[in-house]
Structure 1
Amino acid sequence: MKHVLGLGLVLLLSSNCAAYAQFNRAASNFTLQGPAEQGGSVVKDATGKNCLDVEAAARPQTVNREMLDHVVSLKNNCSRTIKVKLCYYNSDSCKQFDVQAYKRVDTILGTMRGVSLFRYTLNQK
């Protein structure tokens, strides 16, 4: 495993090319996740860019820092509503919602003790 350091950002590159970044601040520790596994077609705009910007992070809770919320943020950069199904990878633990045109949706996929890295799938229509 290779560690790359710079300005409070730690990038971990493993042999299977998965990348995870951890950003440390005095008040909080966020563990940014790799990209979502796509579970079908991807909605694109007229120029061929993906409509959804997706970010995911494990965020410690304030009271009990061992409990980590798995937060996923979706920003729709297109002029149409996108239906989303967000799941843990190979799991039936899912959330479904609509991301309105030019809006952002932040959701907690789940909460786990001590699990800072998670995989998730994203289906969009």
Structure 2
Amino acid sequence: MTTHERQRAPDLPTHGLPEPRVSADRLPSRTRWRTPDAIVVEVTGEIDGCTAESLGAALDEHLRARPRVLRIDLGEVCFLGAAGLLALVRANERAAVAGVHLVLDPGRSRAAARALALLDRLPV
């Protein structure tokens, strides 16, 4: 073998790789309670780059109803990444414009509590 020849890299196995937990277009969430004055949305699972867009769309839909209060229950969220935080910040901005009081409730989720605590530390 001369110095300019290279060996072909072995094919990597594709079996055994984890399947995505949530499809890119579906965020596990449900409307837990809805009245003309208040809506409670329960979000579960992971909020990351794959699911943040779905979260933002769901929250926009609820904001169009213009309740006095929109509460987002994050108690069953196991991961809240930067994309998810950005979706929540944008929802908060839209809620302020619409005159809706947005409440972010981390509940028992340590991941949500830690991520929301980071938002509190950012300069305004």
TM-score over 0.5 (shorter chain): no
Q: What TM-score comes out, normalization by structure 2 length?
A: 0.26
Decide which structure has the larger Cα Rg and report it: 2
Q: What TM-score comes out, normalization by structure 1 length?
A: 0.25
Structure ranking higher in helix proportion: 2
